[in-house]
Amino acid sequence: MPDFDTVILRGTVVGPTGEYPMDLGIADGIIQAIEKDLSGQANHEILAEGCFVIPGIIDSHVHINEPGNTDWEGFETGSKAAAAGGTTCIIDMPINSLPTTINAEAFHKKKEHGENNCLVDFALWGGLVPDNIGQLESLWELGVIGFKAFMSNSGIKKFPCVDTTSLKKGMKAIAKLEGMVLALHAEDDALTAKLSKQYIQSGNTNYTDFLNSRPIEAELIAIKTAIELSGETGCPIHIVHVSCAEGIDLITEAKQNKVDITAETCPHYLCLTTEALDQWGAIAKCAPPLRNPFAVEALWEKFRKGEIDTLGSDHSPCLDVMKKGEDFFKAWGGISGIQHLATISYSLIREKTNWSLLDISKLLSTHPAERFQLPRKGKLEVGMDADLCVANFKGRNSISSEGLYYKNKHSPYVGLHFPFQAKETLVRGRSVFADGTIQNNGRGKFIRFRI
């Protein structure tokens, strides 16, 4: 009987200590060996000559809108897009489905939909809203990996933002739940609401007005408040989609002051600027908004210094029609990007820094697994889940709307081209994407916090 179910031969494995030419043997969904000369010992062989074998991407910032808004994006289409881009585990945000994931009942519904329809593994964020503090403990017991709250209007009525009082109460409660982190959308509600109102009331509603209504200052006010409250309550926090260098500075300073805080940014803040709004209109609308080229370069400077902990796609899809219309303030804010998290990150970071592939994999795989305590995930090592992507860097592969697996095929990344290309994606040893085709081999597993 063969020793392995699958072996990956003659690739360069991005392992925990570096990149080395090795074969990788998988049995029962687990990495059993990383050695030379494993050929002839498996039911199935994957030839990875000229390719890298990288840890599967853990996209810790994904909005799948199922149940309730599945016509925006469902687990099936969203997870196919993930698989095609080398992502093996997604962590779903609690906001865009109906019901929103703010209590046990909603959690069970969400989990059931994921188990039925998600091709890759998935974990869930629970929501923190002003009136669900009594629900947090049961969500923790059910296995959410953390909580998410908005410090400004979320755009969804069923997911109201927290004010300072409810945020502090929520943080106190979360601090008591062992291992939990609070992810924060950090923009100041008072400032963004005031500016938005001014522009809308005066009939100024184009994209420049929208940009002006969400200045960097709004992010800084909110991040400062979050840091202060985290220090007071002991609640670990994760600031999602930081769009500016000044925000990263505040987080770095807080880390030095022993606040338990991490920072995420997204590919769109690194590869797009406000110019994309001119080209794409609302398809490139997100909050915080895209920044000008100088601000993007400043964010890269922080990135190079290693001051950013994780990269997530913030895939936030919607119906095509929700991106249309004259009033830019009314258009849905959110960028569709789950399919290209690895493509853009690996390609651009490799081009713009002297980082190794191992360094890059930490932001996309290892750090999310560690910060959100996903067992056996995040690196290629014997004993870990066989979540991986066989990829190469060859030529320039254009992103086209026909190639998108999304339910609504829009993305501001269309037309860009990058050398990174996922050739095959394995989730616990099961092939979900190979040679340009989705492999509908079963379903992903719900990954429970820590167990």
Q: Which is nearer to Zn ion, 150 or 420 (CB)?
A: 150
CB of 392 to Zn ion, least distance (A): 30
Asked if residues 86 and 54 have their Cβ atoms less than 8 Å apart, the reply is yes
Q: Which is nearer to Zn ion, 14 or 239 (CB)?
A: 239
Q: Which is nearer to Zn ion, 61 or 379 (CB)?
A: 61
Q: Which is nearer to Zn ion, 184 or 358 (CB)?
A: 184
Q: Which is nearer to Zn ion, 241 or 445 (CB)?
A: 241
Mask 261-300, x = binds Zn ion (CB under 5 A)? ----------------------------------------
Member of 314, 385, 387, 424 binding Zn ion (CB under 5 A): 314
CB of 307 to Zn ion, least distance (A): 21
Reading the block at residue 409, the tokens are 């095929």
Residue whose tokens read 């086209």? 400
Number of residues that bind Zn ion (CB under 5 A): 1
Q: Is 76 in the site for Zn ion (CB under 5 A)?
A: no
Backbone phi, then psi, for 379, in 5-degree steps? -155, 160
Q: Which is nearer to Zn ion, 188 or 314 (CB)?
A: 314
Asked if residues 273 and 290 have their Cβ atoms less than 8 Å apart, the reply is yes
Q: Which is nearer to Zn ion, 121 or 314 (CB)?
A: 314
CB of 148 to Zn ion, least distance (A): 8
CB of 326 to Zn ion, least distance (A): 25
Asked if residues 84 and 404 have their Cβ atoms less than 8 Å apart, the reply is no
CA distances (Å), origin 267, targets 138, 175, 309, 354, 446: 34, 30, 13, 18, 26
Which residues ranging from 227 to 256 are in contact with Zn ion (CB under 5 A)? none
Strand locations in 267-416 (E): 310-311, 388-398
Q: Which is nearer to Zn ion, 85 or 333 (CB)?
A: 333
Measured distance CA(3)–CA(426) in Å, rounded: 18
Which one of 29-37, 75-83, 283-291, 310-318 is the stretch in contact with Zn ion (CB under 5 A)? Answer: 310-318
Maximum separation of any 2 CA atoms in the chain, in Å: 75
Which one of 129-137, 311-319, 339-347, 384-392 is the stretch in contact with Zn ion (CB under 5 A)? Answer: 311-319
Which one of 157-165, 169-177, 314-322, 361-369 is the stretch in contact with Zn ion (CB under 5 A)? Answer: 314-322
CB of 366 to Zn ion, least distance (A): 22
Which one of 22-30, 171-179, 308-316, 421-429 is the stretch in contact with Zn ion (CB under 5 A)? Answer: 308-316
Asked if residues 199 and 212 have their Cβ atoms less than 8 Å apart, the reply is yes
Taking CB atoms, the residue at the shortest distance from Zn ion is: 314
Q: Which is nearer to Zn ion, 73 or 314 (CB)?
A: 314
Measured distance CA(426)–CA(42) in Å, rounded: 16
Long-range contacts formed by 143-146: CB under 8 A, 24+ apart: 143/446, 143/448, 143/449, 143/451, 144/101, 144/107, 144/180, 144/449, 145/91, 145/181, 145/372, 145/373, 145/374, 145/447, 145/449, 146/180, 146/181, 146/182, 146/183, 146/238, 146/372, 146/449
Which one of 80-88, 148-156, 312-320, 360-368 is the stretch in contact with Zn ion (CB under 5 A)? Answer: 312-320
Reading the block at residue 24, the tokens are 């990788």
Reading the block at residue 203, the tokens are 């009939």
Which one of 39-47, 144-152, 307-315, 374-382 is the stretch in contact with Zn ion (CB under 5 A)? Answer: 307-315
CB of 288 to Zn ion, least distance (A): 11
Q: Which is nearer to Zn ion, 76 or 314 (CB)?
A: 314
Measured distance CA(205)–CA(184) in Å, rounded: 27
Tell which residue, 324, 287, 266, has the closest CA to residue 210.
287
Give the DSSP H or E segment for 1: none
Which one of 73-81, 119-127, 309-317, 398-406 is the stretch in contact with Zn ion (CB under 5 A)? Answer: 309-317
CB of 312 to Zn ion, least distance (A): 8
- Provide the 3-class DSSP secondary structure of residue 85: coil
Name the site residues for Zn ion (rule: CB under 5 A): 314
